[in-house]
Amino acid sequence: MNIPPIHIKTDLTNQDEKTTIQEATKEELQLLIATMERELASGEFFTSHENYASIDLGKMPLLIEAANNKHVGLNLNFVSNPIDLPSEIGRAISNGKEQFRYVVNMGESGIHFAAIDCKMVDGKLSLLLMEPANLNSMGPAMLAMRVSSCLKREAEIIPKPHFCIAVMDIQRSNSECGIFSVGLAKKMFSERAPLDALHEEILSERLPDGMKCDVLEGEALDRLLPPTFYKHAQSQRRLDQYIRAHPDGNDTSVNKKGELLLDRAKRLMVPVDEKLISSSIHQKRIMEYSAISDDGKSV
């Protein structure tokens, strides 16, 4: 018996389906933002049961797209696994890019993000990885090791990189590495003068205080960077360390309101478990998610 084909009639066009998906995504984002705002108001932002690291991983392509739309020339891309980084860098160089950036995740076995700034100078590649936390934890250490290993293993794809890890040590919470990394990538673009100077030091292999070219941290790093890189630091102690190394770091405004670094930090400090923790990065996440919720191109 011949069974005639069944034709299912649908009223949804491809454009209708796309619009439906966009509306669902926007609704999801708005619910997430409402949860973030509620936790921020109640003081639960630091102890939230939401897995924001995983949520950020899923939304990272949208966050990156929104960042590129807002900052022309940012040249920011997302790399979900360090194994793909050399080919991404090689593609950027082949396309004539002289300076470009990445947010990179540690890969299949976990979630941890860092920001990377790449610059080509006279055929030489300088690569600066900004780690928002420190290398004493498994995630950051594993990510740094994987990036370094992948760069060395794929030497035929890209020029031999001059690689440096800048250990920012501004993250104290568990789930904010993604938002820190997006913010640091933007800052490496907007604060290009000190970054270009740092790339010159990396390429010449003459980093301050005789430090090795593979890791830059603490006072030696703090002296090189302007205060805007530290505006989301979560602990007062870390801010105090920065000011000791960079005494004029509290003389320059760090936002459009004209606030100084320490004044802004004081305004945003919240008591959590008998400690003062800055809510700045959590407010930053709300702003980033609001941007992708409001921008039709990104949803």
Per the annotation, the verdict on 232 as an active-site residue is no
Q: Which residues contact 189 (CB under 8 A, 6 or more apart)?
A: 71, 73, 74, 76, 101
Token digits for 246? 């960079």
What CA–CA distance (Å, rounded) separates 279 from 43?
9
Which is more confident, 12 or 207?
207
Instruction: Dump pLDDT digits (tens) for 155-205.
Output: 677 888 899 999 999 999 999 999 999 999 999 999 999 999 999 989 887
Token digits for 241? 């360390």
Q: Which residues contact 10 (CB under 8 A, 6 or more apart)?
A: none
**What strands lie across the sheet with 215-217, from one edge to the other?**
76-79, 99-105, 113-121, 124-131, 161-167, 215-217
Between the alpha carbon of residue 81 and those of residues 11, 71, 88, 112, 150, the distances in Å are 40, 24, 11, 10, 10
Extended strands (E) in 51-93 = 76-79
Would you say residue 293 has pLDDT above 90?
no
Q: Which of 112, 199, 232, 246 is catalytic?
A: 112
Q: Which of 65, 88, 131, 176 is catalytic?
A: 131
What CA–CA distance (Å, rounded) separates 19 from 296?
10
Total-model pTM: 0.89
pLDDT at 7: 39
Which residue, among 269, 285, 265, has the nearest Cα to 277 in the 3D structure? 269
Q: Which of 118, 150, 164, 177 is catalytic?
A: 177
pLDDT at 43: 87
pLDDT at 207: 58
State the SS3 of 111-158.
CCEEEEEEEEECCEEEEEEEECCCCCCHHHHHHHHHHHHHHHHCCCCC
Q: By mean pLDDT, which of 211-215, 227-231, 269-273 is the weakest? A: 211-215
CA atoms lying within 13 Å on the CB side of residue 42: 10
Location of structure tokens 């708005």: 30
Which residue, among 281, 296, 298, 187, has the nearest Cα to 235 in the 3D structure? 281
Q: Where are the domains of the chain?
A: 50-294
Q: Which residues contact 110 (CB under 8 A, 6 or more apart)?
A: 139, 142
Per the annotation, the verdict on 112 as an active-site residue is yes
Would you say residue 208 has pLDDT above 80?
no
